[in-house]
Structure 1
Amino acid sequence: MNGANIMTTAIYAPGKEEAQILNKAAIELKTKTWHELIVENVVELVIRTISSIVEMKCVLDVLVLEKYIAQTHH
């Protein structure tokens, strides 16, 4: 069961160093249930996804604005 928890934590935490994930999971397994670990990591993944989408939207807005300015000033 412990191995499954560690692997699940690794799967749901993209973008972090694998060693850090495994160490963190090993520590958390002593104090948290499997369900708590899954919920926390899914929430973290959702937050990262939303912030990435917001960041991309901001970049697109800037590009559209730059294109508009370029068209209106030529």
Structure 2
Amino acid sequence: MRRNVERMGEHFLLTSREMDVLTLYALGHTQKKVAEELFITPATAHSHIKRIYSKCGMHSRQEILEYLNSYGN
């Protein structure tokens, strides 16, 4: 998963922190759990996720998962 996130991050110019957030988010963690794992506030996790959606032009976790899975095929 991490390698696919890195490739997606390179494509959409995500920061390393956004890729950290994206990895956990793509694994099914809630925003609250992402925040706990990365020692950031839930508001910061939410901001990162909003920026990821914006940079990637995606609107749901499902779209992100489908995009990430396309690298595995």
TM-score, scaled to structure 1: 0.31
Looking at CA atoms only, which structure, 1 or 2, has the larger radius of gyration? Answer: 1
- RCO higher in 1 or 2 (8 Å CA, sep ≥ 6)? 2
Which structure dedicates a bigger proportion of its chain to helix? 1
